[in-house]
Structure 1
Amino acid sequence: MIFCHCAVVGDREVKQAVDAGARTVSQVCRSTGAGQECGSCVFAVRRVVCEHLAQVAVMAAADPEVDVAAS
């Protein structure tokens, strides 16, 4: 779902940025271009970042061999 219409960024791009190592909303916005124009999407970016990081943490807790830093 696209939520940054200024830079045409959606949840897929945000998840890819997190998987590539971005850990903060600022890092994700710099990486994807989201939030650079009007900024109305920043809260949606934050939600997706938090949800995705939580999923990664759950996966790591379930399987101790999962490298959280690499995911």
Structure 2
Amino acid sequence: MIVCHCGVVTSGDIAEAMIGGARTVGEVCRRTGAAQSCGTCYFSVRQVVCQHEQHAQPVAEEAVRAAS
């Protein structure tokens, strides 16, 4: 799904940026180019970041348990 039409940034691009180490909406925007032109997609980017964090948290917790 395209999240930022100006920069043609998809939700997959956002997920990749987060997997690559981006931890804030600002970092995601800088890495992907989202919200750099008009900014109207900022809240959509934030929503995708929050969804990715919610999905990643249980996976990270399971990895910690498995390593213990």
The reply to whether TM is greater than 0.5 is: yes
Q: Deviations over 1:29-61 (max 9, x none)?
A: 000000000001111110111111111111122
Which amino acid letter does the alignment assign opposite residue 43 of structure 2? F
Structure 2 unaligned residues grouped into runs of 5+: none
Instruction: Name the counterpart of 1:33.
Output: 33
CA distance in 1, matches of 2:20, 2:63: 20
Q: Secondary structure at the match of 1:63?
A: helix
Deviation at 1:26, TM superposition (A): 0.4
CA distance in 1, matches of 2:48, 2:56: 12
Percent identity (aligned): 47
Bigger Rg, structure 1 or 2? 2
Which amino acid letter does the alignment assign opposite residue 18 of structure 2? V
TM value normalised by structure 1: 0.85
Q: Does 2:14 match 1:14? A: yes
Q: Secondary structure at the match of 1:3?
A: strand
TM value normalised by structure 2: 0.88
Moved more, 23-32 or 50-59: 50-59
